[in-house]
Amino acid sequence: MHIKTVSTTPIEGQKPGTSGLRMKTRVFMQPHYLENFVQSIFNAIGGIEGKSLLLGGDGRYFNQQAIQTIVKMAIAGGASHLIIGAEGIMSTPAASAIIRKFKTNGGIILSASHNAGGIDEDFGIKYNLPNGGPATARVSDRIFAYTLEIDQYQIADLDDIDIITIGETTIAETRIQIIDPVADYAELMETLFDFDAIRELFKSGFRIKFDAMHAVTGPYAKAILEGQLGAEKDSVINAVPLPDFGGGHPDPNPIHAHQLMEIMYGDDAPDFGAASDGDGDRNLIVGKNCYVTPSDSLAVMAANAKLVSGYRKGLKGVARSMPTSQALDRVAKKLDIPAFETPTGWKYFGNLLDANKVTLCGEESAGTGSSHIREKDGLWAVLFWLNFLANRKQSVAEIMADHWKTYGRNYYTRHDYEAVESDAANNLMDGLRGKLAIFPGHTINGLAIIHADEFSYHDPVDGSNATAQGIRILFDGGSRIIFRLSGTGTEGATIRVYLESFEPGPENLDQKPEDALADIIKTASQISNLEELTGRTAPDVKT
């Protein structure tokens, strides 16, 4: 086998964001682009020689070609073992589970998560650590540093290898194992949930619709929900992964999962609906006529954890990203367990999970997960819900009403302004930053500001600090407005405005969220001058 050493030069902008490096697919397809980044990962982990790696992706356009390139580079670098999902398929949570199970030296996952796929859409790559979690900020910084000084990479001069057929082969020093991407994950799920109870639930006539959005969870949901648990045939829709996700945005929110929402709000709706994203780590939960916000879902899961077989012993603690609603904190208080508030992005949960400080964590962006792996996990969240629904024998709407009666309700919505000109977005953030000191004491639209700051986080486990993680404006009574710029967008800037209003109850617990949040929404646009600075009069996406 011939190993080519290819001269290259640093390519600007290969800085990993909230979740790895995401760019337009055509950017990734440029000569040396992928190779430079992969070699930088290898360099950042002290070389790939003698190391084992998990490889897989969400099946989007360029997934298989990228895997071929990475395999050839890993062989050239002397990797000892590569585990690859057949057809290059591997959901992010399954990748995390398999890295942990087979104790590999980490993994490379090809995905741009919930972003659209196709030659004119998005592609992404991320390195996960041997604990199965996303690279920490430190490791990401090291990878980035190597991208700035790279001058060569190695690649084996080989024909493409067969990544379709399950089996094993050895090339030079490297053992290459093509595995079923579902089996190990399904096995893990069975250890966490009472499959018998869920089977009984389906047998009793309970109906589910799971929208895989033509993304990676199709094969997982089919095998587990329909195959192992006996949900009726066609419970899983859009089940075949497609390179362009059928032209849709594989983002499980009410806007993009509108087909599911129509079913769940239509005549003869099933009892339970769910969806997952491009790489299978996000989830949407919806009952019959009852959408559950991700923040509420997280809180309800924490409150019901003891009814779920793998969590029967209770939770060590919980964590949420800062913009996620405070509903979780109220449950933690009642359970008398610690609640952590971290910056946006799953990587900040890893240390807390490793240190056994938390069992359950989540984000408002439809991500929930637990200590079973080091990524958020879409299908796991669905099984978690099914397990406590099987015990409670109530509808989703009843469970929500009961939850709000007990804890009060955190009305919540997020408004996204996408592809905003970067200067305008930065001006908006700077403007707010400049007013932080004078905000407290002001009352706007009847809302009294009690505190305003820019969120920073001190990691209690490794002592690292993350600054500039979003502007927070807190109001008397528990309401909040948060402004943040997205770290995953690939075009201009995305401004995220997180809006939350707390209603302690017992009255006013079933308002329409837009009514309950009207004053907060008005206040957010007034204090940020959003319309004037960006020219936008309405958000592109409301979730």
Catalytic member of 40, 52, 113, 528: 113
Which residues make up the interface to Zn ion (CB under 5 A)? 113, 277, 279, 281-282
CA distance 243 to 160: 19
- Is residue 346 involved in binding ligand G1P (CB under 6 A)? yes
Q: Which is nearer to ligand G1P, 104 or 253 (CB)?
A: 253
Question: Would you tell me the crossing angle of helices 378-392 and 183-192 to the nearest 10 degrees?
Answer: 30
Size of the site for ligand G1P (CB under 6 A): 14
Neighbours of 66 (CB within 10 A): 23
* Closest C-alpha among 304, 306, 266, 305 to residue 288: 266
- The binder of 18, among Zn ion, ligand G1P, none, by C-beta within 5 to 8 A per type, is ligand G1P
What part of residues 75-134 is at the interface with ligand G1P (CB under 6 A)? 113
> Does residue 395 have an active-site annotation?
no
C-alpha torsion sign, points 190, 196, 201, 203: positive
CB of 53 to Zn ion, least distance (A): 20
To Zn ion, the closest distance from the beta carbon of 87 in angstroms equals 19
Binds 385: which of Zn ion, ligand G1P, none (CB < 5-8 Å by kind) = none
- In DSSP terms, 495 is beta-bridged to 417, 485
Residue 365 interacts with, from ligand G1P, Zn ion, none (CB under 5-8 Å by kind): ligand G1P
| Interacting partner of 276 out of Zn ion, ligand G1P, none (Cβ under 5 to 8 A depending on kind) | none
Query: Which sign, positive or negative, has the C-alpha torsion 403, 409, 411, 412?
Result: negative
For position 496 contacting ligand G1P by CB under 6 A, the verdict is yes
Taking CB within 5 to 8 Å according to partner kind, which of Zn ion, ligand G1P, none is near residue 372?
none
Residue 39 within binding range of ligand G1P, rule CB under 6 A: no
Please choose which of Zn ion, ligand G1P, none residue 279 contacts, taking the beta carbon within 5 to 8 angstroms, the exact cut-off set by kind: Zn ion
User: What is the Cα–Cα distance from 535 to 370, expressed in whole angstroms?
Assistant: 41
- Under rule CB under 6 A, which residues in 356-395 are in contact with ligand G1P? 363, 365, 367
CB-nearer residue toward ligand G1P: 113 or 528: 113
Of 291, 293, 282, 334, nearest to 500 (Cα)? 293
Give the residue with the Cβ less far from Zn ion, 277 or 500.
277
Nearest alpha carbon to residue 478 among 326, 321, 319, 296: 326
CB of 441 vs ligand G1P, minimal distance in Å: 30
Q: Which is nearer to ligand G1P, 19 or 326 (CB)?
A: 19
User: Closest distance between ligand G1P and the C-beta of residue 113, in Å?
Assistant: 5
Separation of alpha carbons 456 and 467, rounded Å: 4
Q: How far is CA 283 from the centre of its chain?
A: 8
Say how far apart CA 24 and CA 36 lie, in whole Å: 16
DSSP state of 128: E
Among 253, 359, 488, 523, the residue binding ligand G1P under the rule CB under 6 A is 488
Contact 293, 367 (CB under 8 A): no
Task: Write down the least CB distance from residue 20 to ligand G1P, Å.
Answer: 9
Distances (CA, A) of 426 to 81, 103, 309, 495, 530: 45, 42, 47, 9, 11
Catalogue the active-site residues. 113
Point out which residues bind ligand G1P (CB under 6 A).
18-19, 113, 321, 344-346, 363, 365, 367, 486-488, 496
